[in-house]
Amino acid sequence: MGTAHFLQLERKDYDSGRWFARLRDEWAAGRVGLVEIAPEPSGDPELRAAIETMLASNGSYEPGDRAVIHARPAALDMAGETALLLRARGVEARIILGMASLGRQVRELVEIARRSVEGAPAGDATGAAREATAHAPAGDAAGALSGAATGGPAEAAAGAAAPPRDYSRADAAALDGIQACYRSLLEPIEREGRGHWIVPIGTAPDPEPDCVPALDFFSKAAGRGLAPLGALRVDGRIRSHDIWLYPGELDVRRLNEGLPAERHWTLDEWRALVFRSMAVGADELRRIALGTEAIALTIAASERGGRLHYARED
C-alpha cells in the first residue's frame, strides 16, 4: 500500500477552481492522495441551527472523539458548519473532499496515475488535459461537476470528449495512495475507537459515460481503503455513521418534475423539511409528514401523474 497524502486547502481554493490544478500537480509528482479542506462557517444560520439539532439528536458525540466528514462538493457548507460545531464540543473533526461526483477531474487524475505506474513519458497525461482545459469555455465547470449550486470555476474541461478507457486491466497500484489515505483515516479509530463517520451529500448530475470507467477504478481503490468501516461500526468503535442530505436546486427540480406549478416546492421549503426529518426518529418523522400540508398536496399531485423522488426507511 502506498503513502497517504492529503493536500491541505481552504474553501476559497475549491470555489475558485485552484484546487484541481494543485491536486493535479501533486498527482503528477507521484503524490497520489485526497483533499482536506479547512472548515469555515457557511453564513447560513438556519443550516447551523439544523446541524446543531442533528448533533444533539444523535447524542453520541463526546469530547475526545474524532470525526471524519467525507463531504461531496455540493455539501461543503454543511461539512464546514458540522466540523466547527464538533470542534466546539471537543471533537476532532476533519473534512475530506469526496470526489465520486467529479467525473472529469477523477478521469484525468486516474489517467495521470495510470501512466505513471505503466511507465508513460513524464507529463504526457497532463499536457493534453491542460490543452483541453485551456480551450474550454470560461466557467465550464462549477455547478455541473461539483454539484454545488454556487460553486466556482472548477477547471472541469480536462480530457473533454476523450473516449472511455477500459481500466479492467489497469494496475491497481496506480491508486495505492487513495487506499492509503482512507486507511490512515480509519487507523486511529481502529486503535482507539470513539470514531464518527459523517457523509454530507449533495446531489450532482449523473456522470458522463466516458468518465464512468475511471470513477469505478477510483471507487474500488477507495473501497479497499474503507474495507474495515463495516466491522468498526458493528463493534462500536465507530459510534455513529450518518449520511446527511444537503438539498440543492437540482434536488428541487427533480422533486417538482411532473407536479403542477402550484404544487412546486421551493429550495427553502424542501431544505427545512429535510433538515427536520434528519433530526427525528421514524415515528416523529411520520407524524410530521402526515401533518405537513405541502406533503399531502405533493402526494395528491403525484397520484395524478407526478413523481416522488425521496423515501426514507428506518
Tell me: pLDDT of 293 over 80: no
Residues 294, 203 share a domain: no
Domain membership flag for residue 75? yes
Domain membership flag for residue 311? no
Residues 47, 193 share a domain: yes
Domain, as residue range, for 41: 6-245
Domain-ending residue, one of 225, 245, 265 = 245
Domain membership flag for residue 308? no
Residues 152, 282 share a domain: no
Residues 114, 37 share a domain: yes
Domain membership flag for residue 309? no
Q: What's the total number of domains in the chain?
A: 2
Q: For residue 294, name the pLDDT band (cuts at 50, 70, 90).
A: low
Q: Which of 32-46, 70-84, 246-260, 274-288 has the lowest mean pLDDT?
A: 274-288
Tell me: pLDDT of 157 over 90: no
Domain membership flag for residue 313? no
Instruction: Report percent pLDDT > 90 for the chain.
Output: 56
Residues 228, 123 share a domain: yes
- Burial of residue 160 (number of CB atoms within 10 Å: 0-12, 13-18, 19+): middle
Tell me the pTM: 0.78
Q: Which of 126-135, 242-251, 266-275 has the lowest mean pLDDT?
A: 126-135
Domain membership flag for residue 97? yes
Q: Which residue, chain included where needed, has cell 427525528?
A: 280
Query: Using one digit for the tens of pLDDT, what is the confidence trace for 12-41?
Result: 999 999 999 999 999 999 999 999 999 999
